């Protein structure tokens, strides 16, 4: 076994398209352990039975399974759905309650990180301003439960942006140890990947075009690395090119180099978002872990 600098995890989001149809929750988690990952990331609203109040038996089975497989819960994905109420915005109290619900459930299931996916108000994904007072109100709870709240920096957001500046200002102003950035490696994509298969859907009525996003230099990661608490290793396709693993979309060698130079330690949690197909996620995640571990050992 080779030594490695980073911890490796998998987000169950990767099995989207198979979870609930061709794979059960047990199948997905068994697969994460089988491929050698130690970290397990889930989506609360997807994978927790009867979210947000799972039966006690389900919680007991959750911990028994983690023990048996040697897995550590990493990040609990959650949502602040600011458009739930259609004709009116979400109130501070409602947003606070949603965050508190997810922090409590994340802690109950053993998670250290909680990613709130925040509703947005602009085309470049500026979050609804309700996030500021709502997050302030749950900082004590996060400290008590030792859960780090980490909104994700996700394409089409870029690192040098008001979105990221506002998160960093929040950390500076509150002095909290329980808020940080989750970096989704999709922001560093060299080219867009068109996802094939799966349920056919379209966005809106087709009036708007997808945003034109500048390529984010991997060097920008170094500027915010001190506040990055978790990395979602988003990827689309790892190719077998004459027996060599290649990713033409995400520049892994450059990303790992920045992490290494910055002395960063933490989880790289795989999030496969490539083509749908039975068995595809399991194969692609293994390819990615092999590729990352080869780079990590060099």
Q: Which residues bind other proteins (CB under 8 A)?
A: 13, 16-17, 19-22, 24-25, 43, 45-46, 49-51, 77, 79-86, 117-123, 125, 128, 198-204, 207-208, 211
Strands 244-246 and 239-241: antiparallel
Q: How far is CA 162 from the centre of its chain?
A: 20
Least spacing, CB of residue 118 vs other proteins, in Å: 7
CB-wise, 79 or 170, nearer to other proteins? 79
Q: What does the alpha-carbon distance between residue 206 and residue 102 come to, in Å, rounded to a whole number?
A: 34
End-to-end CA gap in the chain: 14
Question: Residue 130 or 224: which CB sits closer to other proteins?
Answer: 130
Shortest approach of other proteins to residue 103 CB, angstroms?
Answer: 18
Nearer to other proteins (CB atom), residue 6 or residue 284? 284
Q: Which is nearer to other proteins, 130 or 221 (by Cβ)?
A: 130
Give me the residue label for tokens 């998160």: 167
Query: To the nearest whole angstrom, how small is the minimum distance from the Cβ of residue 31 to other proteins?
Result: 16
Burial letters 105-138, b for 16+ CB under 10 A, else e: bbbebbbbbbbbbbbeeeeebbbbebbbebbbbb
Catalytic residue among 4, 47, 154, 227: 154
Question: Annotated catalytic, 178?
Answer: no
Contact 252, 292 (CB under 8 A): yes
Do the beta carbons of residue 127 and residue 89 sit within 8 Å? Answer: no
Task: Please report how close the Cβ of residue 205 comes to other proteins at its closest, in angstroms.
Answer: 8
Cis peptide before 146 (omega within 30 of 0): no
Nearer to other proteins, 92 or 120 (CB): 120
Q: How far is the CB of 25 from other proteins (least distance, A)?
A: 7
Q: Check if the beta carbon of residue 19 is closer than 8 Å to that of residue 31.
A: no
The catalytic residues are 154
């Amino acid at each position: 076994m080779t030594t490695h600098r980073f911890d490796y995890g998998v987000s169950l989001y990767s099995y989207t398209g198979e979870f609930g149809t061709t794979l059960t929750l047990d199948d997905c988690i068994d697969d994460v352990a089988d491929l050698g990952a130690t970290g397990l990331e889930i989506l609360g609203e997807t994978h927790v039975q009867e979210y947000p109040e799972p039966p006690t038996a389900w919680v007991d089975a959750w911990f028994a399974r983690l023990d048996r497989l040697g897995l550590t819960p990493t990040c609990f994905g959650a949502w602040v759905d600011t458009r739930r109420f259609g004709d009116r915005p979400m109130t501070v109290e409602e947003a606070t309650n949603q965050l508190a619900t997810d922090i409590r459930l994340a802690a109950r299931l053993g998670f250290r990180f909680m990613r709130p996916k925040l509703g947005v108000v602009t085309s470049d994904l500026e979050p609804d301003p309700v996030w500021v007072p709502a997050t302030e109100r749950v900082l004590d709870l996060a400290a008590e439960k030792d859960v780090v709240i980490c909104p994700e920096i996700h394409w089409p957001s870029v690192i040098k942006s008001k979105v990221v500046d506002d998160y960093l200002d929040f950390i500076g102003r509150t002095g909290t140890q329980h808020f940080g950035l989750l970096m989704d490696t999709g922001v560093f994509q060299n080219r867009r990947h068109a996802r094939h298969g799966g349920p056919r859907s379209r966005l809106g009525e087709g009036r708007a075009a997808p945003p034109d996003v500048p390529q984010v230099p991997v060097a920008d990661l170094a500027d915010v690395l001190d506040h990055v608490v978790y990395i979602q290793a988003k990827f689309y396709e790892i190719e077998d090119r004459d027996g060599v693993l290649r990713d033409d979309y995400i520049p892994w060698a450059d990303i790992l180099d920045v992490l290494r130079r910055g002395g960063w330690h933490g989880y790289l949690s795989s999030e496969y978002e490539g083509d749908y197909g039975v068995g595809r996620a399991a194969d692609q995640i293994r390819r990615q872990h092999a590729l990352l571990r080869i780079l990590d050992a060099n």
